[in-house]
A and B are shown apart, each in its own frame.
Chain A
Amino acid sequence: MMEIKNNIGRRSFLKLSATAGLAVMANNAFAASPFLKPYVVDNPLKSYPNRDWEKVYRDMFHVDSEFIFLCAPNDTHNCLLKAHVKNDVVIRISPSYGYGDAEDMDGNRSSHRWEPRICNKGMVMNRKAYSDRRPKGAMVRTGFKAWADAGYPRTGANGFPDQKYLQRGKEPFIKLPWTEAYALAAGALENIARTYSGDKGAALLTRQGYDPEMIASMHGCGCKTMKFRAGMAALGVLRIYSLKRFAQGLALLDAYVRNVGSDEASGAKVLDSYSWHTDLAPGCPMVTGHQMLDYEFMVYEHAKLIVFWGNNFVCTKMPDLHWVSESRLKGCHIVDISIDYHATSNKADDVIILRPGTDPALGLGVCHLLIKNNQYDENYLRANTDMPLLVRTDNWKNLKASDIIADYKLADLTHHLKVMKAGEHPTMPPAFQSTAFVAEDIRKFWGDNVVWDKKTNKAVPLTRDECGARYAAKGVESALTGEYEVTLVDGKKIKVVPVFQLQKEYLEEFTAENTSIMTGVPVEAIVDLANLFHKHRGQGIISTGAGTNHYFNSTLKDRGFMLLSALSDNVGHIGGCTFGNYVGNYRQSVFGGFGQYLLEDPFNPELDGRKMVTKLAHYTDDESAHYYNYGDRPLRNGTRLLTDPGHMPAPTKVLWQANSNSSLGNAKGHYDMVVNTLPRWEAIFYSDWNWTASCEYSDIVWGVDSWLENKHTDMACSCSNPFLTVSPITPLRRFQDTVGDAEVPAGIFRAFTAMTGDQRFADFFKFVGTNPAGNPADRDSEVYGQRVLNAGSATRGMVFAEIREKAKRGVPSIFMSRTYPRISGWEQTAEGGGLPWYTKSGRLEFYMDDPRLIDGGENLTVYRTPIDSSHYEPNVIVGNSRAFALMETPEMRGLERMGNSLKIAENRMGRNVILTTKELMATNHPLRPHGYEFCFNSPKYRHGAHTTPIDTDLMTLWWGPFGDIYRHDKRQPSVGEGFVDVNPLDAKRFGIDEGDYIWVDADPGDRPYKGWKEGTPEYALARFMVRCRYFPGMSQGSMRMYYNAYAATYGSMEGARTRADGLAKSPRTNYQAMFRSGNHQSCTRAWINPTNTTDTVANKKVFGQEIIIGMQNDVHCANGAPKESYVKIELAEKGGVNGGVWHIAAKGYRPTYESLQMRTYLKGGFISR
Chain B
Amino acid sequence: MAKVRNWQLGREMDYPYEENRPGRQVSMLFDLNKCIACQSCTMACKTTWTAGKGQETIFWNNVESKPYGFYPLAWDVKVLALLGEQAQPWSGNKYNGTTIFEDLGMNQRIKGYLPDEMDYAHPNLGEDECLKILDGEGDYIKGPTHKNWGFFFPRICNHCTFPGCLAACPRKAIYKRQEDGIVLIDASRCRGYRECVAACPYKKSFYNDTTRTGEKCISCYPKVEAGLMTQCVTQCIGKIRLFGFKTADYDKINSKQVRENNPIDFLVHVRKIALPIYPQFGTEPSNMYLPPVHVNPDFLSQVFGPGVENSIKQYRNAGKDKELLAALLLFGVTERICDTFKLEGNETVGYDPQGKEIVRVPLTEPVYIRQVKNLKTGAFLTNNS
CB contact under 8 A between A100 and B237, given known A119-B40, A1035-B134: no
Query: Is the C-beta of B261 less than 8 angstroms from some C-beta in chain A?
Result: no
Q: Are A302 and B140 in contact (CB under 8 A)?
A: no
In the complex, which residues of chain A have a beta carbon less than 8 angstroms from the beta carbon of B43? 120, 123-124, 954
In the complex, which residues of chain A have a beta carbon less than 8 angstroms from the beta carbon of B367? 302, 574, 819-821
CB contact between B37 and one of A58, A60, A343, A528 (< 8 Å): that residue: A343
CB contact between B211 and one of A31, A322, A351, A1037 (< 8 Å): that residue: A31
Query: Is the C-beta of B271 less than 8 angstroms from some C-beta in chain A?
Result: no
Q: Are A958 and B385 in contact (CB under 8 A)?
A: no
CA distance A120 to B20 in the complex (A): 38
CB-contacts of A312-343 with B (<8 A): 314-315, 318-319, 321-323, 325-326, 328-331, 340-343
Q: Closest B-chain residue to A23, C-beta based?
A: B52
Q: Are B187 and A33 in contact (CB under 8 A)?
A: yes
In the complex, which residues of chain B have a beta carbon less than 8 angstroms from the beta carbon of A318? 36, 38, 40, 237-238
Q: Are A330 and B319 in contact (CB under 8 A)?
A: yes
- Interface-facing stretch out of B5-13, B143-151, B247-255: B143-151
Q: Are A341 and B379 in contact (CB under 8 A)?
A: no
CB contact under 8 A between A106 and B370, given known A325-B238, A353-B138: yes
Q: Are B121 and A817 in contact (CB under 8 A)?
A: no
Question: How many Å from the CB of A687 to the closest CB on chain B?
Answer: 27
- Contact string, A1132-1169, partner B, CB cutoff 8 A, digits 1/0? 00000000000110010111100001100111111111
Query: Is the C-beta of B152 less than 8 angstroms from some C-beta in chain A?
Result: yes
Query: Is the C-beta of B382 less than 8 angstroms from some C-beta in chain A?
Result: yes
CB contact between A53 and one of B133, B143, B186, B299 (< 8 Å): that residue: B186
In the complex, the number of residue pairs spanning A and B with C-beta atoms less than 8 Å apart equals: 496
- Interface-facing stretch out of B99-107, B197-205, B262-270, B331-339: B331-339
In the complex, which residues of chain B have a beta carbon less than 8 angstroms from the beta carbon of A525? 140, 142
Q: Are B383 and A1151 in contact (CB under 8 A)?
A: no
Q: Closest B-chain residue to A962, C-beta based?
A: B122
Question: How many Å from the CB of B360 to the closest CB on chain A?
Answer: 8
Q: Are A111 and B362 in contact (CB under 8 A)?
A: yes
Query: Is the C-beta of B83 less than 8 angstroms from some C-beta in chain A?
Result: yes
Q: Are B306 and A1169 in contact (CB under 8 A)?
A: yes
CB contact between B361 and one of A112, A325, A816, A963 (< 8 Å): that residue: A112
Q: Are B140 and A120 in contact (CB under 8 A)?
A: no
Q: Are B140 and A350 in contact (CB under 8 A)?
A: yes
- Interface-facing stretch out of A430-438, A670-678, A922-930, A1063-1071: A430-438
CB contact under 8 A between A116 and B236, given known A58-B222, A350-B142: yes
CB contact between B382 and one of A1038, A1105, A1147, A1151 (< 8 Å): that residue: A1105
Q: Are A968 and B118 in contact (CB under 8 A)?
A: yes
In the complex, which residues of chain A have a beta carbon less than 8 angstroms from the beta carbon of B121? 964-966, 968
CB contact under 8 A between A31 and B142, given known A120-B43, A321-B36, A825-B384: no
CA distance A34 to B205 in the complex (A): 22
CA distance A942 to B365 in the complex (A): 26
CA distance A796 to B56 in the complex (A): 50
CA distance A958 to B306 in the complex (A): 33
Question: How many Å from the CB of A372 to the closest CB on chain B?
Answer: 20
Question: How many Å from the CB of B262 to the closest CB on chain A?
Answer: 20
Question: How many Å from the CB of A1141 to the closest CB on chain B?
Answer: 14
CA distance A145 to B97 in the complex (A): 76
Total interface residues in chain B, CB < 8 Å? 156
In the complex, which residues of chain A have a beta carbon less than 8 angstroms from the beta carbon of B47? 91-93, 123-124, 126-127, 954
- Interface-facing stretch out of A44-52, A173-181, A724-732: A44-52
Q: Are B81 and A1157 in contact (CB under 8 A)?
A: yes
CB contact between B176 and one of A45, A343, A817 (< 8 Å): that residue: A45
Q: Are A590 and B68 in contact (CB under 8 A)?
A: no
Q: Are A827 and B36 in contact (CB under 8 A)?
A: no
CA distance A1034 to B128 in the complex (A): 11
CB-contacts of A406-432 with B (<8 A): 431-432
Q: Are A1168 and B90 in contact (CB under 8 A)?
A: yes
In the complex, which residues of chain B have a beta carbon less than 8 angstroms from the beta carbon of A47? 175, 178
Q: Are A1161 and B129 in contact (CB under 8 A)?
A: no
Question: How many Å from the CB of B238 to the closest CB on chain A?
Answer: 6
Query: Is the C-beta of A838 less than 8 angstroms from some C-beta in chain B?
Result: yes
Query: Of residues B89, B91, B140, which shows the largest number of chain A Cβ atoms within 10 Å of its Cβ?
Result: B140
CB contact between A1165 and one of B87, B126, B134, B149 (< 8 Å): that residue: B87
Q: Are A818 and B381 in contact (CB under 8 A)?
A: yes
Query: Is the C-beta of A592 less than 8 angstroms from some C-beta in chain B?
Result: yes
CB-contacts of B73-91 with A (<8 A): 73-74, 76-78, 80-81, 83, 87-91
Q: Are B188 and A8 in contact (CB under 8 A)?
A: yes
Question: How many Å from the CB of B129 to the closest CB on chain A?
Answer: 6
Query: Of residues A27, A28, A110, which shows the largest number of chain B Cβ atoms within 10 Å of its Cβ?
Result: A27
In the complex, which residues of chain A have a beta carbon less than 8 angstroms from the beta carbon of B362? 111, 113
- Contact string, B196-233, partner A, CB cutoff 8 A, digits 1/0? 00000000000010111101001011110100000100
Q: Are A44 and B166 in contact (CB under 8 A)?
A: yes
CB contact between B301 and one of A342, A521, A962, A1164 (< 8 Å): that residue: A1164
Q: Closest A-chain residue to B358, C-beta based?
A: A112
Query: Is the C-beta of A352 less than 8 angstroms from some C-beta in chain B?
Result: yes
Q: Are B298 and A45 in contact (CB under 8 A)?
A: no
CA distance A516 to B138 in the complex (A): 9
Query: Is the C-beta of B67 less than 8 angstroms from some C-beta in chain A?
Result: yes
Question: How many Å from the CB of A116 to the closest CB on chain B?
Answer: 6
CA distance A942 to B17 in the complex (A): 44
Question: How many Å from the CB of A78 to the closest CB on chain B?
Answer: 14
Query: Is the C-beta of A387 less than 8 angstroms from some C-beta in chain B?
Result: no
CA distance A315 to B36 in the complex (A): 7
Q: Closest A-chain residue to B363, C-beta based?
A: A330
CA distance A210 to B298 in the complex (A): 66
CB contact between B133 and one of A127, A985, A1157 (< 8 Å): that residue: A985
CA distance A309 to B217 in the complex (A): 39
Q: Are A963 and B40 in contact (CB under 8 A)?
A: no
Q: Are B55 and A1033 in contact (CB under 8 A)?
A: no
CA distance A1035 to B174 in the complex (A): 48
Question: How many Å from the CB of A101 to the closest CB on chain B?
Answer: 11
- Contact string, B349-385, partner A, CB cutoff 8 A, digits 1/0? 0000000000111111111111011101111111111
Q: Are A1147 and B73 in contact (CB under 8 A)?
A: yes
- Interface-facing stretch out of A35-43, A183-191, A540-548, A909-917: A35-43
Q: Closest B-chain residue to A822, C-beta based?
A: B383
In the complex, which residues of chain B have a beta carbon less than 8 angstroms from the beta carbon of A94? 44, 231, 234-235
CA distance A1101 to B172 in the complex (A): 71
Query: Is the C-beta of A1082 less than 8 angstroms from some C-beta in chain B?
Result: no
CA distance A1034 to B368 in the complex (A): 42
CB contact between B221 and one of A35, A54, A1151 (< 8 Å): that residue: A54
CB contact under 8 A between A958 and B42, given known A112-B361, A965-B56, A1161-B76: yes
Question: How many Å from the CB of A327 to the closest CB on chain B?
Answer: 9
CA distance A318 to B235 in the complex (A): 12
In the complex, which residues of chain B have a beta carbon less than 8 angstroms from the beta carbon of A1150? 68
Q: Are B361 and A793 in contact (CB under 8 A)?
A: no
- Contact string, A811-846, partner B, CB cutoff 8 A, digits 1/0? 000001111111111111001000000100000000
In the complex, which residues of chain B have a beta carbon less than 8 angstroms from the beta carbon of A290? 384
Question: How many Å from the CB of A244 to the closest CB on chain B?
Answer: 18
In the complex, which residues of chain A have a beta carbon less than 8 angstroms from the beta carbon of B88? 1166-1168
In the complex, which residues of chain A have a beta carbon less than 8 angstroms from the beta carbon of B19? 45
Query: Is the C-beta of A899 less than 8 angstroms from some C-beta in chain B?
Result: no
CB contact under 8 A between A1166 and B302, given known A116-B234, A352-B140, A824-B384: yes
Q: Which 6 A-B pairs have the closest CB atoms?
A: A520-B138, A23-B52, A331-B319, A48-B175, A1164-B298, A797-B377
Instruction: Supply 20 A–B pairs (Cβ within 8 Å), ascending by A.
Output: A44-B175, A92-B47, A93-B47, A97-B335, A106-B370, A330-B363, A346-B152, A353-B137, A522-B139, A793-B385, A796-B377, A816-B370, A819-B368, A820-B368, A838-B384, A1032-B129, A1033-B150, A1147-B74, A1151-B133, A1157-B78
Known: A351-B148, A1149-B70, A1162-B131. 17 other contacts (CB 8 A): A30-B188, A60-B222, A100-B359, A105-B374, A323-B365, A341-B134, A346-B150, A346-B292, A350-B143, A353-B141, A520-B138, A796-B377, A817-B385, A824-B384, A1032-B68, A1157-B77, A1161-B80
